[in-house]
A = this chain, B = another copy of it.
């Protein structure tokens, strides 16, 4: 049997038909052999696979996707990759996607509604097989577009409010309650809640938990807002430290702001935790390294990403499941030195 010459291939990519030709079978057969999804003679399967490997054949996912109606792409909407909280979710989601041969299309929305909508459309065009939405400010009716097209959407790190989308998150109300309760049990009387953006669901829920704790114990609440960034915590320090009605503890809605706050207070000569106790939320890696080490509420971010992608891929395989599934992961206190 004469070996058939491999076509000159001048910068022309090898196609399935090419390798079929090499082996001397039809493209259909080659396809079946490669995907071994159908009965094929063992010999042909071997030959095709060998030829593919030898010729360094790389299947075209675009063409495959078009034929199969599956792009093998998963969209990921995050408000800010610079934020370790979302970076961790992203990492978790990314890891399981890759492991299942999906590729992740990343969109950093910067919490901007216009960008969210633009990206949502772009991802739709790219025919992503599904989308993970994290920390979105997007109105859910925008997402209905996806639902209508029968494309799975799962939330990560936040629960979907009105319309029922699947998602995995943490009980933020409980997180807020636990943190505040801890502070109060430690003897603090004036604890300030320092939230992130007000339109954020996490801030809303953590504040709810804070209020529950404070009010149930007959203390009076006080609230202030930053933007989830470290710098906003740093700036807040000035307000907090400044005399008259100074709190004796603050519960920040995320660690980044808590850390900024600690830095800012140190800068102003206010001692943490002696003068003011500071507690964060999320338990990002940095918290353990900062001095004083940050007391916080641990939110299993990486795990959230993992589970969210797991859910999404599951819905993809099983086909649109019936009711939306909400997974709530546990969170607990991480007590260190700042409170």
| A residues with CB within 8 A of B | 11, 13, 56, 58-63, 65-66, 71-73, 76, 81-82, 84, 87-88, 90-91, 94-95, 98, 101, 103-108, 115, 118-119, 121-127, 145, 148-150, 230-231, 234, 259-260, 263, 266-267, 285-286, 289-291
Contact = CB atoms under 8 A, between A and B. Distances in A.
B98 A88 contact: no
Contacts of A88: 82
Contact of A82 (B60, B91, B104): B91
Nearest to A264: B289
A123 B103 contact: yes
A13 B65 contact: no
A263 B291 contact: yes
B91 A81 contact: yes
B266 A231 contact: no
- Is the contact region of chain A dominated by helix, strand, or loop, or is it mixed? helix
B124 A58 contact: yes
Nearest to A70: B62
A73 B285 CA distance: 32
B127 A61 contact: yes
A150 to B, nearest CB: 6
A58 B125 contact: yes
A95 B108 contact: yes
A13 B145 CA distance: 12
Given A62-B65, A231-B289, A103 B126 contact: yes
19 contacts: A56-B145, A58-B121, A60-B125, A60-B127, A62-B71, A73-B126, A81-B87, A82-B84, A82-B87, A82-B88, A90-B106, A91-B108, A98-B115, A98-B118, A106-B106, A260-B289, A263-B289, A267-B291, A286-B286
Instruction: List the 4 closest A-B pairs by CB distance, nearest first.
Output: A106-B106, A263-B289, A61-B125, A103-B105
